[in-house]
Amino acid sequence: MKTEKAETLTKADSRGESPRKGRGLKAPAERRFHGIAVSPGIAIAPVYDLTEAPAEAPRRSVAEGEVESERLRLNEAAAFSRKQVGKLKTRLSVLPEEAKEELEPLLDAYILMLGNSRLLRNARRRIGEELLAAETAVSDEAEAIAATILAAKDDDKQGLTRRAYEVREIARRLVRNLTATPFRSLKEVPSGAILVTDELTPADAALLEPGRVVGVATEEGGADGHTAIMLRALGIPAVLGCHGLTEAARRGDAAVLDGRAGFILLHPNTDSLATAKEGLSAQAREKSRLGRLRSLPAETTDGERVELQANLEIPAELPLIHQAGAEGIGLLRTEFLFMNREDLPDEDAQVAAYRSVVEAMAGHCVTIRVLDWGGEKDMEALAQGVPVSTGTNPALGLRGIRLLLKRPELLEEQFAAILRVSAMGKVRILLPMVTVPSEVAAARDIYERVAKRLRRRGEALPEKLPPLGAMIETPGAALAADAIALEADFFAIGTNDLAMYTLAVDRAEADVAHLYDPLHPAVLRLVQFATEAALRLRMPCSVCGEMAGNPSLVPLLLGLGIRALSMNASAIPRVKQAVRGLDIDDCARFARRVMEQSDPARIAELVGGFGRD
């Protein structure tokens, strides 16, 4: 009896979809396509190619008398799109819990953007002012918004790309509905196949069944979009951005996909198949080993506990945090609350958002960073409600705590929401972009005033207010850490921005990106200075930048005195594995040796060679 996979291959041959295979023909040569590794795992299976016909929407103008009918078409398409997204939400109930929690907030955001959003308001305006057909107006406005987002001066380029994609995705749905172009169906993808397609949207990913689709490879896409997060939540091995793949792949082609190494092989040869099978076995063993670590403490061989927490950008990432076994959230970025909305979130809306995270963490501490905005991020409501001039370089302008102290009503409302939630679980509050002690002191005055007001109105607050901490992310803050420590309750060292400001390097600028080096001795000395300032006062101090999630840097950070690390959830198991193999005395000796160096290359060599001496 033929297996289902074999039947898939046979049917593909009978349809003529793989003409390169046949009796008497030479076996096709192996072809390798590299892409971006977004979801680890190995798959050995036949390809099922599935492309989506683009919507036929040539630029079109309308007569003045057709303006109202075009606006009506747009309104109807928006209503129908909202209905589609609503139906997709009902699909979530049959998905794994992790995937459900991942996609639901995104679909809610889609529904908001299909309401009275900037996209639809300006598309209606374009119809009237520029006499454009609805689909043309939508496309033009979406590209204008995306261009504005992508041109913003912000070191969070991944976040900018994701937000631009969301706008384009909503526009794509509107245009398909305006032109009556059908969406592709994923129901026909057979069990045990590797899905190959030009692009996969988060909505498409929600329709995948992990038990049926064993891998995904796409022509477009990146590591930090919602699709990538969704695929990781579903546990489907995936490689995105494999240029040339869709043209080369034919339905039924034998393939090997490696979601950790970031490639897919078409027509793998005998050696490649053997290697892939060995990889599958190793993958199963590693999964079992890391899975056992989840319930074990992050403790060195000599009994020193290290707190491993997760960074959280959007609540959709909570399932990944639970899977990783994080001991809390070391950095909750609150900017997501202010995105894609016309008005500022009020106190109750913020309470609801924070409560969902605090309750999900079930007693583990959640460190909530108040709004870090300086005009460069795409927040329409703030741009209207906080009309500040950011100048030519927002990174050096009115941002973070500077802006919040300039517009204290924002800080007061956020403090009030966090304080109300503090009665429901353990929280801490983190101030961004602190450079001088007076900023922490001024924020604390507001903080205590808000707490008194809440108590007067009968809100239940803990007797001891949640700790108020400072982010150390500039050279000035690190060098003033002794003084700032007298005002703050804890430190969180943001090594990404600290390295950027110290080295005057924007990693998004190709000409200077190679100069970005968190192991530069200047960066390490600033980390050391801030850590020692905290240790002298027995004050908690964590690292929450990319350095925290790099297992090879754990010995150095522990040796400098760090005992709390916050990172992307996916990095936690391997960092825990590294911690459990270390001795603190060895780490301290190693850190002293590193800090004696002045050459970044030599430091990198020492870090890479730790434990091999």
Residues present in the chain in total: 613
Beta strands in 129-229 (DSSP E): 193-197, 213-218
Residues 6 or more apart whose CB falls under 8 angstroms from that of 438 comprise none
Q: In what order do the strands lie in the sheet with 42-49?
A: 31-34, 263-266, 254-258, 42-49, 193-197, 213-218, 238-240, 36-39
Whether the Cβ atoms of residue 460 and residue 511 lie closer than 8 Å to each other: no
How would you label 124-147 residue by residue, b for 16+ Cβ within 10 Å and e otherwise?
bebbeeebbbbbbbbbbbbeebbe
Return all residues near 537 (Cβ < 8 A) that are at least 6 apart.
485, 486
The CA R_g of the chain, rounded to the nearest whole Å, is 26
Backbone angles phi, psi at 455, to 5 degrees: -65, -40
Determine the residue type at 568: N
User: Would you say 475 and 435 are in contact if contact means Cβ atoms under 8 Å apart?
Assistant: no
> Cα–chain-centroid distance for residue 358?
19
Positions annotated as catalytic residues are 226, 544
Q: SS3 for 473? A: coil
Give me the DSSP letters along 294-346: TTS--B-TTS-B-EEEEEESSGGGHHHHHHHT-SEEEEEE-GGGGSS-SS---
Q: Under a CB-based contact definition with an 8 Å cutoff, are residues 482 and 514 in contact?
A: no
Residues 6+ apart with CB under 8 A from 387: none
